[in-house]
Amino acid sequence: MKKIIKYVLLDLLRNRIIIAYTIFLAVISLSVFNLEDNPSKGILSLLNLVLIIVPLVSIVFSTIYVYNAAEFIELLVSQPLRRVNIWLSIFTGLASSVCMAFLVGCGIPVLIYAPGDTGLTMTAMGVLLTMVFVALPCWHRY
């Protein structure tokens, strides 16, 4: 199970879409905080963007990844592994990579500009939102 998670995680961290998503979130986050002099207004503006962008990117990217990894999943199913372990490993690797992209792109600027409870809550909710929408394609296939 750890080998599958490691393979999926390393494969996705080198993916151009994940890198572009991280850079996009970082640019949006930094520009929102630099436009506003009040961190609370910046958090609110960023929250509106995160509530639209994060679910959309998470579900679309996860669906495309699971669809394109069909041969890899078939290879894993042919091995003496339980299907639950295979899907949990794929979900863990996929969710970890997308959550790390969110944390680097959006979490670091939020913690720099608004390190209070509001910033931590928004970052935690963004990670949970990411995990929920990454789980949908994995749940549908299982």
Question: Where along the chain do its domains lie?
Answer: 2-141
Distance CA 34, CA 114 (A): 12
Distance CA 98, CA 102 (A): 6
- pLDDT in the model for residue 36: 84
> DSSP letters along 69-91, please?
THHHHHHHHTSS--HHHHHHHHH
Q: Which one, of 57, 55, 44, lies nearest residue 15 by Cα?
A: 57
Reported as a pLDDT band with limits 50, 70 and 90, residue 129 is: very high
Q: Which one, of 60, 32, 48, 58, lies nearest residue 122 by Cα?
A: 48
Angle formed at CA 19 by CA 116 and CA 65, multiple of 5 degrees = 110
- pLDDT in the model for residue 141: 57
Are residues 109 and 29 in contact, defined by beta-carbon separation less than 8 angstroms?
Answer: yes
Answer whether 0.85 is exceeded by the pTM.
yes
Q: What is the pLDDT of residues 2-55, one digit of tens each?
A: 888 898 889 888 999 999 999 999 999 999 999 988 999 999 999 999 999 999
Q: What is the pLDDT of residues 56-97, one digit of tens each?
A: 999 999 999 999 988 988 898 888 989 888 889 999 999 999
